[in-house]
Chain A
Amino acid sequence: MSQFELLSRYGPRMLEGLLITIELVAISVTLGALIAVPVALARLSASRMLRALALGYSFFFRGTPLLAQLFLVYYGSGEFRSFFESIGLWWLFRDAFFCALLTFTLNTGAYQSEILRGAIRAVPRGQSEAAMSLGMKPRWIMLRVVLPQALVIGLRPLGNEVILMIKGSAVAAIITVFDLMGATRLAFARSFDITVYLYAAVLYLVLVETLRRLWDILERRLTRHVVRAAP
Protein backbone atom coordinates (compact mmCIF):
# COMPACT_ATOMS: atom_id res chain seq x y z
CA MET A 1 0.00 0.00 0.00
CA SER A 2 1.37 3.41 -0.87
CA GLN A 3 1.76 6.07 1.80
CA PHE A 4 -0.97 8.10 0.15
CA GLU A 5 -3.40 5.21 0.30
CA LEU A 6 -2.44 4.47 3.88
CA LEU A 7 -3.06 8.04 4.96
CA SER A 8 -6.31 8.45 3.08
CA ARG A 9 -7.63 5.25 4.59
CA TYR A 10 -6.55 5.71 8.21
CA GLY A 11 -5.64 9.42 8.42
CA PRO A 12 -9.18 10.71 9.13
CA ARG A 13 -9.64 8.16 11.89
CA MET A 14 -6.34 9.11 13.47
CA LEU A 15 -7.31 12.78 13.40
CA GLU A 16 -10.58 11.89 15.09
CA GLY A 17 -8.51 10.00 17.62
CA LEU A 18 -6.40 13.11 18.15
CA LEU A 19 -9.56 15.05 19.00
CA ILE A 20 -10.57 12.36 21.50
CA THR A 21 -7.11 12.53 23.10
CA ILE A 22 -7.45 16.32 23.43
CA GLU A 23 -10.96 15.96 24.83
CA LEU A 24 -9.86 13.32 27.33
CA VAL A 25 -6.93 15.40 28.58
CA ALA A 26 -8.79 18.73 28.62
CA ILE A 27 -11.70 17.39 30.66
CA SER A 28 -9.63 15.35 33.09
CA VAL A 29 -7.10 18.15 33.70
CA THR A 30 -9.95 20.61 34.37
CA LEU A 31 -11.83 18.28 36.70
CA GLY A 32 -8.51 17.29 38.30
CA ALA A 33 -7.89 20.95 39.12
CA LEU A 34 -11.25 21.07 40.92
CA ILE A 35 -10.15 18.11 43.03
CA ALA A 36 -6.64 19.47 43.56
CA VAL A 37 -7.71 22.67 45.35
CA PRO A 38 -9.55 21.05 48.27
CA VAL A 39 -6.96 18.25 48.50
CA ALA A 40 -4.08 20.73 48.65
CA LEU A 41 -5.91 22.74 51.31
CA ALA A 42 -6.61 19.53 53.25
CA ARG A 43 -2.91 18.64 53.15
CA LEU A 44 -2.09 22.04 54.65
CA SER A 45 -4.95 22.00 57.14
CA ALA A 46 -4.59 21.83 60.90
CA SER A 47 -6.78 18.73 61.15
CA ARG A 48 -4.74 15.56 61.32
CA MET A 49 -7.62 13.52 59.87
CA LEU A 50 -7.90 15.70 56.77
CA ARG A 51 -4.15 15.69 56.29
CA ALA A 52 -3.95 11.90 56.49
CA LEU A 53 -6.86 11.42 54.07
CA ALA A 54 -5.41 13.80 51.51
CA LEU A 55 -1.95 12.27 51.85
CA GLY A 56 -3.35 8.77 51.39
CA TYR A 57 -5.18 9.79 48.22
CA SER A 58 -2.25 11.59 46.66
CA PHE A 59 0.19 8.86 47.73
CA PHE A 60 -1.84 6.07 46.17
CA PHE A 61 -2.39 7.78 42.84
CA ARG A 62 1.18 9.05 42.53
CA GLY A 63 2.79 5.81 43.65
CA THR A 64 1.06 3.35 41.33
CA PRO A 65 1.16 3.03 37.52
CA LEU A 66 -1.59 4.79 35.61
CA LEU A 67 -2.24 1.59 33.65
CA ALA A 68 -2.84 -0.39 36.86
CA GLN A 69 -5.22 2.31 38.09
CA LEU A 70 -7.06 2.17 34.79
CA PHE A 71 -7.47 -1.61 35.06
CA LEU A 72 -8.60 -1.24 38.66
CA VAL A 73 -11.38 1.17 37.67
CA TYR A 74 -12.39 -0.38 34.35
CA TYR A 75 -12.32 -4.09 35.23
CA GLY A 76 -12.80 -3.61 38.97
CA SER A 77 -16.05 -1.68 38.56
CA GLY A 78 -17.59 -4.72 36.85
CA GLU A 79 -17.43 -6.51 40.17
CA PHE A 80 -19.72 -3.90 41.70
CA ARG A 81 -22.14 -4.02 38.81
CA SER A 82 -25.27 -4.68 40.89
CA PHE A 83 -24.35 -1.78 43.16
CA PHE A 84 -23.84 0.60 40.26
CA GLU A 85 -27.05 -0.64 38.66
CA SER A 86 -28.96 0.02 41.87
CA ILE A 87 -27.79 3.64 41.96
CA GLY A 88 -28.34 3.94 38.21
CA LEU A 89 -24.72 4.61 37.25
CA TRP A 90 -23.83 1.35 35.52
CA TRP A 91 -24.15 2.85 32.03
CA LEU A 92 -21.29 5.17 32.98
CA PHE A 93 -18.94 2.52 34.31
CA ARG A 94 -19.64 0.25 31.36
CA ASP A 95 -18.20 2.93 29.10
CA ALA A 96 -14.44 2.72 28.56
CA PHE A 97 -14.19 6.44 27.80
CA PHE A 98 -15.82 7.34 31.10
CA CYS A 99 -13.57 4.95 33.04
CA ALA A 100 -10.49 6.47 31.40
CA LEU A 101 -11.79 9.95 32.19
CA LEU A 102 -12.43 9.05 35.83
CA THR A 103 -9.02 7.43 36.28
CA PHE A 104 -7.15 10.28 34.60
CA THR A 105 -9.07 12.85 36.66
CA LEU A 106 -8.22 11.13 39.94
CA ASN A 107 -4.60 10.68 38.83
CA THR A 108 -3.97 14.22 37.66
CA GLY A 109 -5.92 15.55 40.67
CA ALA A 110 -3.34 13.91 42.93
CA TYR A 111 -0.38 15.34 41.00
CA GLN A 112 -1.96 18.79 40.72
CA SER A 113 -2.72 18.88 44.44
CA GLU A 114 0.97 18.28 45.08
CA ILE A 115 1.93 21.08 42.69
CA LEU A 116 -0.55 23.44 44.33
CA ARG A 117 0.58 22.51 47.83
CA GLY A 118 4.17 23.33 46.94
CA ALA A 119 3.10 26.58 45.29
CA ILE A 120 1.03 27.68 48.31
CA ARG A 121 3.99 27.02 50.58
CA ALA A 122 6.22 29.03 48.26
CA VAL A 123 4.15 32.19 48.73
CA PRO A 124 6.10 34.27 51.26
CA ARG A 125 4.61 34.26 54.74
CA GLY A 126 4.69 38.04 54.87
CA GLN A 127 1.85 38.07 52.34
CA SER A 128 -0.64 36.34 54.61
CA GLU A 129 0.67 38.16 57.67
CA ALA A 130 0.13 41.50 55.98
CA ALA A 131 -3.38 40.45 54.97
CA MET A 132 -4.05 39.34 58.54
CA SER A 133 -2.92 42.67 59.91
CA LEU A 134 -5.39 44.34 57.56
CA GLY A 135 -8.09 42.34 59.34
CA MET A 136 -8.95 39.97 56.47
CA LYS A 137 -10.63 36.72 57.41
CA PRO A 138 -8.53 33.56 56.86
CA ARG A 139 -10.82 32.37 54.06
CA TRP A 140 -10.37 35.58 52.13
CA ILE A 141 -6.65 35.63 52.76
CA MET A 142 -6.44 32.23 51.07
CA LEU A 143 -8.78 33.12 48.21
CA ARG A 144 -7.63 36.64 47.43
CA VAL A 145 -4.01 36.83 48.54
CA VAL A 146 -2.34 33.43 48.70
CA LEU A 147 -4.06 31.36 45.98
CA PRO A 148 -3.69 33.91 43.16
CA GLN A 149 0.04 34.12 43.80
CA ALA A 150 0.35 30.37 44.22
CA LEU A 151 -1.34 29.79 40.86
CA VAL A 152 1.30 31.90 39.12
CA ILE A 153 4.08 29.98 40.87
CA GLY A 154 2.49 26.67 39.96
CA LEU A 155 1.93 27.57 36.32
CA ARG A 156 5.09 25.98 34.93
CA PRO A 157 4.82 22.65 36.78
CA LEU A 158 1.15 22.58 35.83
CA GLY A 159 2.11 22.90 32.16
CA ASN A 160 4.47 19.95 32.58
CA GLU A 161 1.68 17.97 34.20
CA VAL A 162 -0.63 18.63 31.24
CA ILE A 163 2.08 17.35 28.89
CA LEU A 164 2.57 14.25 31.04
CA MET A 165 -1.18 13.71 30.91
CA ILE A 166 -1.24 13.95 27.10
CA LYS A 167 1.44 11.27 26.94
CA GLY A 168 -0.09 9.19 29.68
CA SER A 169 -3.53 9.27 28.07
CA ALA A 170 -2.23 6.87 25.40
CA VAL A 171 -2.87 3.95 27.78
CA ALA A 172 -6.63 4.54 27.31
CA ALA A 173 -6.16 2.69 24.01
CA ILE A 174 -5.61 -0.52 25.98
CA ILE A 175 -9.16 -0.47 27.32
CA THR A 176 -10.59 0.10 23.80
CA VAL A 177 -10.88 3.89 23.79
CA PHE A 178 -10.21 5.11 20.25
CA ASP A 179 -7.99 8.02 21.08
CA LEU A 180 -5.02 8.78 18.82
CA MET A 181 -3.16 5.75 20.15
CA GLY A 182 -6.24 3.53 19.83
CA ALA A 183 -6.94 4.60 16.26
CA THR A 184 -3.28 4.03 15.38
CA ARG A 185 -3.28 0.58 16.92
CA LEU A 186 -6.31 -0.31 14.85
CA ALA A 187 -4.66 1.02 11.70
CA PHE A 188 -1.54 -1.02 12.45
CA ALA A 189 -3.53 -4.18 13.11
CA ARG A 190 -5.18 -3.83 9.68
CA SER A 191 -2.28 -2.59 7.57
CA PHE A 192 0.77 -4.07 9.34
CA ASP A 193 2.56 -0.90 8.27
CA ILE A 194 4.85 0.45 10.98
CA THR A 195 4.73 3.96 9.49
CA VAL A 196 1.29 4.56 11.02
CA TYR A 197 3.04 4.65 14.40
CA LEU A 198 5.50 7.20 13.04
CA TYR A 199 2.62 9.38 11.85
CA ALA A 200 1.08 9.11 15.32
CA ALA A 201 4.45 10.08 16.80
CA VAL A 202 4.50 13.22 14.67
CA LEU A 203 0.96 14.10 15.77
CA TYR A 204 1.82 13.64 19.46
CA LEU A 205 4.98 15.73 19.08
CA VAL A 206 3.08 18.51 17.35
CA LEU A 207 0.43 18.44 20.07
CA VAL A 208 2.97 18.57 22.90
CA GLU A 209 5.11 21.26 21.26
CA THR A 210 2.05 23.41 20.50
CA LEU A 211 0.95 23.17 24.10
CA ARG A 212 4.44 24.04 25.33
CA ARG A 213 4.55 27.15 23.14
CA LEU A 214 1.05 28.23 24.16
CA TRP A 215 1.96 27.73 27.80
CA ASP A 216 5.05 29.94 27.41
CA ILE A 217 2.88 32.72 25.97
CA LEU A 218 0.33 32.26 28.76
CA GLU A 219 3.02 32.38 31.40
CA ARG A 220 4.60 35.48 29.96
CA ARG A 221 1.22 37.16 29.90
CA LEU A 222 0.25 36.19 33.46
CA THR A 223 3.59 37.25 34.92
CA ARG A 224 3.93 40.51 33.02
CA HIS A 225 3.58 42.46 36.29
CA VAL A 226 6.57 40.64 37.80
CA VAL A 227 9.79 42.57 37.36
CA ARG A 228 12.37 40.28 35.83
CA ALA A 229 16.07 40.60 36.44
CA ALA A 230 18.08 41.24 33.31
CA PRO A 231 19.14 37.92 31.79
Chain B
Amino acid sequence: MEQLFGLLSFGPDGWGDEIAAGAWLTLRLAAATLPFGLVLGFAVALARNSHRTWLSVAGNAFATVFRGLPELLTLFIVYYGGQILVQRIASLVADEYVEVNGFVAGLVALGLVFAAYASEVFLGAFRSIGRGQFEGAAALGLRWPAAMRVVIVPQLVRLALPGLANLWLVLLKETSLVSIIALNDLLRETSVAVGATKEPFFFYLVACLIYLAMSIVSSFGIVGIERWSDRGMKR
Protein backbone atom coordinates (compact mmCIF):
# COMPACT_ATOMS: atom_id res chain seq x y z
CA MET B 1 0.00 0.00 0.00
CA GLU B 2 2.74 2.42 1.00
CA GLN B 3 4.55 1.42 -2.13
CA LEU B 4 1.51 2.42 -4.18
CA PHE B 5 1.31 5.83 -2.60
CA GLY B 6 5.04 6.20 -3.17
CA LEU B 7 4.23 6.05 -6.89
CA LEU B 8 2.29 9.27 -6.46
CA SER B 9 5.28 11.20 -5.09
CA PHE B 10 6.58 14.22 -6.94
CA GLY B 11 10.00 13.79 -8.51
CA PRO B 12 11.82 11.41 -10.81
CA ASP B 13 10.45 8.20 -9.19
CA GLY B 14 6.87 9.24 -8.69
CA TRP B 15 4.06 10.12 -11.06
CA GLY B 16 2.59 12.84 -8.86
CA ASP B 17 4.03 15.72 -10.85
CA GLU B 18 3.01 14.25 -14.22
CA ILE B 19 -0.54 13.67 -13.01
CA ALA B 20 -0.70 17.13 -11.47
CA ALA B 21 0.44 18.62 -14.79
CA GLY B 22 -2.29 16.62 -16.54
CA ALA B 23 -4.91 17.86 -14.09
CA TRP B 24 -3.70 21.41 -14.71
CA LEU B 25 -4.13 20.97 -18.46
CA THR B 26 -7.62 19.56 -17.92
CA LEU B 27 -8.56 22.62 -15.88
CA ARG B 28 -7.00 25.00 -18.42
CA LEU B 29 -8.84 23.36 -21.30
CA ALA B 30 -12.19 23.49 -19.49
CA ALA B 31 -11.61 27.11 -18.42
CA ALA B 32 -10.62 28.13 -21.97
CA THR B 33 -13.62 26.35 -23.50
CA LEU B 34 -16.13 28.02 -21.19
CA PRO B 35 -16.04 31.62 -22.57
CA PHE B 36 -15.98 30.37 -26.17
CA GLY B 37 -18.94 28.06 -25.52
CA LEU B 38 -20.89 30.71 -23.61
CA VAL B 39 -20.52 33.39 -26.28
CA LEU B 40 -21.30 31.00 -29.12
CA GLY B 41 -24.21 29.50 -27.16
CA PHE B 42 -25.67 32.95 -26.54
CA ALA B 43 -25.33 33.83 -30.22
CA VAL B 44 -27.02 30.57 -31.20
CA ALA B 45 -29.86 31.25 -28.73
CA LEU B 46 -30.36 34.72 -30.24
CA ALA B 47 -30.39 33.17 -33.72
CA ARG B 48 -32.95 30.56 -32.69
CA ASN B 49 -35.11 33.31 -31.19
CA SER B 50 -34.81 35.49 -34.28
CA HIS B 51 -37.72 36.48 -36.52
CA ARG B 52 -35.58 35.86 -39.58
CA THR B 53 -36.40 32.35 -40.69
CA TRP B 54 -32.99 31.46 -42.08
CA LEU B 55 -31.33 32.46 -38.79
CA SER B 56 -33.66 30.43 -36.61
CA VAL B 57 -33.43 27.44 -38.93
CA ALA B 58 -29.63 27.60 -38.87
CA GLY B 59 -29.59 27.98 -35.09
CA ASN B 60 -31.93 25.05 -34.58
CA ALA B 61 -29.92 22.88 -36.96
CA PHE B 62 -26.73 23.71 -35.07
CA ALA B 63 -28.31 22.78 -31.74
CA THR B 64 -29.84 19.56 -33.09
CA VAL B 65 -26.61 18.39 -34.70
CA PHE B 66 -24.25 19.07 -31.81
CA ARG B 67 -26.64 17.77 -29.18
CA GLY B 68 -27.17 14.60 -31.21
CA LEU B 69 -23.60 13.70 -32.13
CA PRO B 70 -21.36 11.81 -29.72
CA GLU B 71 -18.81 14.24 -28.30
CA LEU B 72 -16.04 11.87 -29.36
CA LEU B 73 -17.21 11.99 -32.98
CA THR B 74 -17.40 15.78 -32.91
CA LEU B 75 -13.86 15.84 -31.58
CA PHE B 76 -12.60 13.54 -34.36
CA ILE B 77 -14.34 15.51 -37.07
CA VAL B 78 -12.92 18.79 -35.76
CA TYR B 79 -9.45 17.33 -35.25
CA TYR B 80 -9.02 15.39 -38.50
CA GLY B 81 -11.26 17.66 -40.56
CA GLY B 82 -9.49 20.71 -39.22
CA GLN B 83 -6.18 19.11 -40.12
CA ILE B 84 -7.25 18.68 -43.74
CA LEU B 85 -8.69 22.19 -43.90
CA VAL B 86 -5.63 23.85 -42.39
CA GLN B 87 -3.41 21.82 -44.69
CA ARG B 88 -5.31 22.97 -47.76
CA ILE B 89 -5.14 26.60 -46.73
CA ALA B 90 -1.45 26.30 -45.88
CA SER B 91 -0.61 24.68 -49.22
CA LEU B 92 -2.02 27.73 -51.01
CA VAL B 93 0.54 29.90 -49.30
CA ALA B 94 3.57 27.72 -48.88
CA ASP B 95 4.71 24.14 -49.25
CA GLU B 96 4.81 23.39 -45.58
CA TYR B 97 3.35 20.82 -43.24
CA VAL B 98 1.12 22.39 -40.62
CA GLU B 99 -0.20 20.46 -37.67
CA VAL B 100 -3.44 21.24 -35.90
CA ASN B 101 -2.95 21.99 -32.24
CA GLY B 102 -4.71 19.34 -30.12
CA PHE B 103 -5.61 21.89 -27.47
CA VAL B 104 -7.33 24.12 -30.01
CA ALA B 105 -9.13 21.16 -31.60
CA GLY B 106 -10.34 20.07 -28.17
CA LEU B 107 -11.40 23.60 -27.30
CA VAL B 108 -13.38 24.00 -30.53
CA ALA B 109 -15.07 20.58 -30.35
CA LEU B 110 -16.01 20.83 -26.68
CA GLY B 111 -17.04 24.45 -27.21
CA LEU B 112 -19.41 23.54 -30.06
CA VAL B 113 -21.13 20.91 -27.90
CA PHE B 114 -21.25 23.27 -24.92
CA ALA B 115 -22.74 26.02 -27.09
CA ALA B 116 -25.47 23.72 -28.42
CA TYR B 117 -26.60 22.81 -24.90
CA ALA B 118 -26.10 26.35 -23.58
CA SER B 119 -28.32 27.77 -26.33
CA GLU B 120 -31.06 25.51 -24.99
CA VAL B 121 -30.53 26.91 -21.48
CA PHE B 122 -30.51 30.53 -22.71
CA LEU B 123 -33.64 29.91 -24.78
CA GLY B 124 -35.46 28.59 -21.72
CA ALA B 125 -34.33 31.64 -19.75
CA PHE B 126 -35.51 34.01 -22.53
CA ARG B 127 -38.92 32.40 -22.43
CA SER B 128 -39.30 32.78 -18.69
CA ILE B 129 -38.35 36.46 -18.78
CA GLY B 130 -41.61 37.24 -20.54
CA ARG B 131 -42.53 39.63 -23.30
CA GLY B 132 -43.51 42.40 -20.93
CA GLN B 133 -39.87 43.06 -20.15
CA PHE B 134 -38.97 43.48 -23.85
CA GLU B 135 -42.03 45.64 -24.40
CA GLY B 136 -41.32 47.70 -21.30
CA ALA B 137 -37.77 48.30 -22.49
CA ALA B 138 -39.08 49.33 -25.91
CA ALA B 139 -41.62 51.64 -24.30
CA LEU B 140 -38.79 53.38 -22.46
CA GLY B 141 -37.22 54.03 -25.85
CA LEU B 142 -34.26 51.70 -25.29
CA ARG B 143 -32.68 50.40 -28.44
CA TRP B 144 -32.09 46.68 -28.76
CA PRO B 145 -28.45 46.62 -27.53
CA ALA B 146 -29.25 48.81 -24.53
CA ALA B 147 -32.39 46.83 -23.71
CA MET B 148 -30.33 43.64 -23.79
CA ARG B 149 -27.61 45.08 -21.60
CA VAL B 150 -29.61 46.74 -18.84
CA VAL B 151 -32.92 44.87 -18.83
CA ILE B 152 -32.68 41.37 -20.27
CA VAL B 153 -29.18 40.04 -19.59
CA PRO B 154 -29.13 40.81 -15.84
CA GLN B 155 -32.27 38.71 -15.44
CA LEU B 156 -31.06 36.12 -17.91
CA VAL B 157 -27.90 35.43 -15.94
CA ARG B 158 -29.84 34.51 -12.83
CA LEU B 159 -32.28 32.28 -14.71
CA ALA B 160 -29.65 30.54 -16.82
CA LEU B 161 -27.12 29.97 -14.07
CA PRO B 162 -28.33 26.60 -12.71
CA GLY B 163 -28.42 25.12 -16.21
CA LEU B 164 -25.04 26.55 -17.13
CA ALA B 165 -23.53 25.26 -13.89
CA ASN B 166 -24.65 21.76 -14.85
CA LEU B 167 -23.06 22.18 -18.27
CA TRP B 168 -19.79 23.23 -16.63
CA LEU B 169 -19.73 19.99 -14.63
CA VAL B 170 -20.42 18.02 -17.81
CA LEU B 171 -17.68 19.91 -19.64
CA LEU B 172 -15.17 19.16 -16.91
CA LYS B 173 -15.76 15.44 -17.38
CA GLU B 174 -15.85 15.60 -21.16
CA THR B 175 -12.37 17.11 -21.37
CA SER B 176 -11.18 13.54 -20.71
CA LEU B 177 -11.94 12.75 -24.38
CA VAL B 178 -9.00 14.86 -25.56
CA SER B 179 -6.69 12.21 -24.10
CA ILE B 180 -7.54 10.21 -27.24
CA ILE B 181 -6.11 12.85 -29.59
CA ALA B 182 -2.84 12.67 -27.65
CA LEU B 183 -3.29 15.75 -25.54
CA ASN B 184 -1.60 15.29 -22.16
CA ASP B 185 -4.60 15.84 -19.92
CA LEU B 186 -5.25 14.16 -16.59
CA LEU B 187 -6.51 10.90 -18.09
CA ARG B 188 -3.70 10.64 -20.63
CA GLU B 189 -0.98 11.25 -18.03
CA THR B 190 -2.64 8.60 -15.89
CA SER B 191 -2.54 6.15 -18.81
CA VAL B 192 1.16 6.88 -19.28
CA ALA B 193 1.73 6.16 -15.61
CA VAL B 194 -0.24 2.92 -15.94
CA GLY B 195 1.85 1.89 -18.91
CA ALA B 196 5.03 2.27 -16.90
CA THR B 197 3.93 0.92 -13.53
CA LYS B 198 1.33 -1.73 -14.47
CA GLU B 199 -0.93 -0.52 -11.70
CA PRO B 200 -4.09 0.32 -13.69
CA PHE B 201 -6.66 0.02 -10.92
CA PHE B 202 -4.83 2.27 -8.48
CA PHE B 203 -3.96 4.98 -10.97
CA TYR B 204 -7.34 5.15 -12.71
CA LEU B 205 -8.99 5.27 -9.30
CA VAL B 206 -6.75 8.19 -8.37
CA ALA B 207 -7.68 9.93 -11.64
CA CYS B 208 -11.38 9.38 -10.91
CA LEU B 209 -10.96 10.83 -7.43
CA ILE B 210 -9.20 13.91 -8.86
CA TYR B 211 -12.11 14.45 -11.27
CA LEU B 212 -14.49 14.02 -8.33
CA ALA B 213 -12.55 16.60 -6.32
CA MET B 214 -12.75 19.06 -9.24
CA SER B 215 -16.52 18.54 -9.41
CA ILE B 216 -16.90 19.07 -5.66
CA VAL B 217 -14.84 22.27 -5.66
CA SER B 218 -16.84 23.51 -8.67
CA SER B 219 -20.10 22.79 -6.86
CA PHE B 220 -19.03 24.98 -3.97
CA GLY B 221 -18.08 27.75 -6.38
CA ILE B 222 -21.43 27.42 -8.14
CA VAL B 223 -23.34 27.76 -4.88
CA GLY B 224 -21.40 30.97 -4.20
CA ILE B 225 -22.11 32.41 -7.66
CA GLU B 226 -25.79 31.53 -7.39
CA ARG B 227 -26.03 33.29 -4.06
CA TRP B 228 -24.40 36.34 -5.66
CA SER B 229 -26.80 36.37 -8.62
CA ASP B 230 -29.80 35.88 -6.32
CA ARG B 231 -28.84 38.80 -4.08
CA GLY B 232 -31.57 41.06 -5.42
CA MET B 233 -34.32 38.48 -5.04
CA LYS B 234 -36.70 38.49 -2.14
CA ARG B 235 -37.63 35.10 -0.83
| Chain B, Cβ-Cβ closest to A170 | B70
Interface 1/0 per residue, B201-222 and A, CB below 8 Å? 1001101100110011000000
Given A63-B212, A63-B216, A76-B200, check contact A197 B72 (CB 8 Å). Answer: no
Q: Is A167 touching B194 in the complex (CB atoms < 8 A)?
A: no
The interface residues of chain B lying within 8 Å CB-to-CB of A201 are 65, 69, 73, 77
Contact pick for B205, options A65, A72, A188, CB 8 Å: A72
How far is A126 from B65 in the complex, measured between Cα atoms in Å?
Answer: 42
Is the C-beta of B76 less than 8 angstroms from some C-beta in chain A? yes
Chain B 168-204 interface mask (CB, 8 Å, partner A; 1/0): 0100011111011000000100110010000111001
Interface membership of A102, Cβ < 8 A = no
Among candidates A68, A80, A174, A200, residue contacting B73 with C-beta atoms closer than 8 Å: A200
Q: In the complex, are the beta carbons of A170 and B73 less than 8 A apart?
A: yes
**Chain B contact residues: over half helix, strand or loop, or mixed?**
helix
Q: Residues of A contacting B68 with CB < 8 Å?
A: 163, 167, 204-205, 208-209
Whether A68 pairs with B77 at a CB distance below 8 angstroms is: no
A181-B70, A201-B69 in contact; A194/B81 too (CB < 8 A)?
yes
User: Complex: how many Å from CA A164 to CA B172?
Assistant: 16
B70, B72, B191, B216: the one contacting A71 at CB < 8 Å is B191
- How far in angstroms is the closest Cβ of chain B from A198? 7
The answer, among A59, A66, A77, A167, for a CB contact under 8 Å with B212, is A59
Taking a contact as CB atoms closer than 8 A, the residue among B76, B176, B199, B201 that contacts A67 in the complex is B176
Chain A residues with CB under 8 Å of chain B are: 59-60, 63-69, 71-72, 75-80, 163, 166-171, 173-174, 181, 184-185, 188, 194, 197-198, 200-201, 204-205, 208-209
Residue contacts A-B, CB under 8 angstroms, 15 given = A60-B212, A63-B169, A64-B208, A64-B211, A65-B177, A67-B176, A68-B176, A68-B190, A78-B200, A163-B68, A167-B68, A170-B73, A174-B180, A204-B70, A205-B64
